[in-house]
Amino acid sequence: MKIAVCLKRVADTTSKIVIGADGKSIDEAGLKFVPNPYDEFAVEEALALKEKAGAGETVVYSLGGDSAAETLRTALAMGIDRAVLLKSPGSPDGLAVAQALAAELGTGGYDLILFGKLAVDDYNHQVGGMTAELLGLPCITAVAHLTIDGGVVEAEREIEGGIEVATCSLPAVITCDKGLNNPRLPSLKGIMAAKKKPLETRPAALGDATLEVLGLELPPERQPGRIVGEGVEAVPVLLELLRTEAKVL
Amino acid sequence: MASRILAVMEQRDGALRKVSREVVAAARRLADGSGGTVDALVLAAGPVADADSLGRFGADHVLVATHPDFRLYQPDGFAATIGAAATGYAAIVFAATSTGRDLAPRVAARLKVAYASDVTALAAEDGAVTVTRPVYAGKALQRARLTAEPAVVSVRPNTFPAVESPKAGEAGTVEVPAFATRVTVREIKAPTQAALDVSEAAVVVSGGRGLREPANFRLIEELAAAFGNAAVGASRAVVDAGWRDHGAQVGQTGKTVSPGLYIAVGISGAIQHLAGMRTAKTIVAINKDKDAPIFKTADYGIVGDLFEIVPRLTEEVRRARGAQ
């Protein structure tokens, strides 16, 4: 089985966000960057599926600047066979990114293309589904449980108040949710091996963006709250405030 | 120029989902700026209860696309139908639910237009749609403009309240084109835990490590039950420890929620958790550590032993609601 994984380099989720000088992006100074957490589920799933099949190839793609090479090396250290960096300044328009990925992945002969369900920076939640649509491939998004047997995919995805069970055939695109697996940590041996694994770089063919970012700002600060009391005696005070002041009861 | 807005409804088991009226309310904001109209589109296998109420909530037309395969969500058929019906609309509005988040990108890719997900504000300005959407799990707000037509957006649940805004609600039909079924949704299984989702509930009660062990989530469940309409949430720490399903996780690698009331019990308030719940209208924190960061974000805090406070709170909420 030949599997592609799409991986994005994002600011660590524990980062404090500072708005950059252009007023449209974040100030990256001093931030730690990591593989997008949902994409790590995709990497782990690709590795587990290849191990189970006993044969195949896993390839990781990232669209971004030179710094994304470091993120790709992390995936190689986890066990992915080779990496491709699609050099690009990126785009806030998910469709423009999906067009670049579809152009690249469409000719790869992949049985399975895996994404994280969303990237924890722009929260666009769309590139996987769009790429599938552009490629004319079946797609199941936000998958928390996956089985593949004889070319048939069965996937479970959480929906409001239930779990949706969906099926499709390979080749397919799957986007991964938390709960799918527990991503392995790169071993020391893996980190050493990753240095010798192939990492190709080529330019990305981004589509034209029709979404333009006008600005980025910090959300309004919440009004400072107050401690209404200590222990059980404070409960009636709280109830009264919820009723009369917050009016939520 | 008067613009036409398409609002994509959600139904389950032949009944309209609550969020559908919110989608109409959001679509109304785009239409009203230009004296335009809202068409609500219902995709189903048969009649949908409450669909005829959509006129009362702001739909000029209520369009129905009926197909035997539309009993459950049919991604390929839904996308084909909306794609074929999209001509002439200035914008298509979805709910940012599990279905809307899956469907909207497919439609946008078919139409080769941009899609703005999970928006919390939107407006029609100078012939384009502008949106505000939380990014970095709500740690920042992005303002963006969609320049292609139709503009495809999904709106965050609990953000655009349904309002009575009587319109004709004239009934019509939309043709379902031939489509290739690539994905089949076979069934909806009942969840193992909470039936009410944190992202849609009006009240969310969340528990954290302060509960000490998974069995003590019973206290959280009882408090949620006392509210009648509350969902049970959880911090990342307890989800990672396997106490709760990941679907309950509130925060940057979980869900971002905007309920009317959020109660954080035994949650210290890590930055990634605060990001997920800071848009709640009212936040209550119960924690034994008076210096916990959660108290800086909470409107009301109680310092003390949650094992004493929560049962008392449950009792008081029950009494307060019983008295209404």
**Residues in chain A closer than 8 A to B307 (CB atoms):** none
Residue ranges with strand state E in B115-260: 115-119, 121-125, 128-135, 140-146, 151-155, 170-173, 183-189, 203-207, 230-234
Task: Name the residue of chain A whose CA is nearest to B149's CA.
Answer: A210
Residue B207 has pLDDT above 60, yes or no: yes
At residue B37, the pLDDT reads 97
Residue B1 has pLDDT above 60, yes or no: no
Of B137, B144, B185, the CB nearest to A213: B144
Task: Name the residue of chain A whose CA is nearest to B259's CA.
Answer: A248
Sequence ranges of the domains in chain A: 2-203
Token digits for B150?
A: 């139709």
- How high does pLDDT run on average in chain A? 96
At residue A155, the pLDDT reads 98
Right CATH for B4-173 from 3.30.1490.20, 3.30.360.10, 3.40.50.620, 3.40.50.150: 3.40.50.620
Residue B217 has pLDDT above 60, yes or no: yes
Ramachandran quadrant class, B252 (left: phi over 0; alpha: psi -120 to 50; beta: rest): alpha
Most A CBs within 10 Å: which of B120, B132, B182, B236, as the mutation test of the A interface?
B182
What one-character DSSP code corresponds to residue A54?
T
Token digits for A38?
A: 């949902």
DSSP H helical segments within chain B, as ranges? 19-32, 75-85, 98-111, 217-227, 236-240, 271-277, 294-297, 306-322
For A202-228, what is the mean pLDDT?
Answer: 94
The neighbour count for residue B14, using CB atoms within 10 Å, is 14
| pLDDT tens per residue across span B43-99 | 999 999 999 999 999 999 999 999 999 999 999 999 999 999 999 999 999 999 999
- How high does pLDDT run on average in chain B? 94
Of the candidate ranges A27-31, B170-174, B204-208, the one whose mean pLDDT is the lowest: A27-31
Question: At CB < 8 A and 24+ separation, what contacts does A28-35 make?
Answer: A33/A9, A33/A67, A33/A70, A33/A71, A34/A9, A34/A10, A34/A71, A35/A7, A35/A8, A35/A9, A35/A10, A35/A71, A35/A74, A35/A75
Chain A contacts in chain B segment 285-304 (CB below 8 A): 290, 295-304
The model's confidence at residue B253, banded by pLDDT at 50, 70 and 90, is confident
Topology of the domain comprising B203-322 = Rossmann fold (3.40.50)
| pLDDT tens per residue across span A117-157 | 999 999 999 999 999 999 999 999 999 999 999 999 999 99
Are B143 and A37 within 8 A, CB to CB?
Answer: no
Right CATH for A2-203 from 3.40.50.300, 3.40.50.620, 3.20.20.70, 3.40.50.2300: 3.40.50.620
In chain B, % of residues over pLDDT 70: 98
For B146-161, what is the mean pLDDT?
Answer: 96
How close is the nearest chain B Cα to the Cα of A107, in Å?
19
Q: Does B229 touch chain A (CB under 8 A)?
A: no
**Residues in chain A closer than 8 A to B189 (CB atoms):** 156, 162-165
Distance CA B15, CA A52 (A): 42
Sequence ranges of the domains in chain B: 4-173, 203-322
Of the candidate ranges A31-35, A234-238, B2-6, B151-155, the one whose mean pLDDT is the lowest: B2-6
Residue B229 has pLDDT above 90, yes or no: no
Residue B192 has pLDDT above 70, yes or no: no
Q: Does B100 touch chain A (CB under 8 A)?
A: no
Of A16, A178, A215, the CB nearest to B253: A178
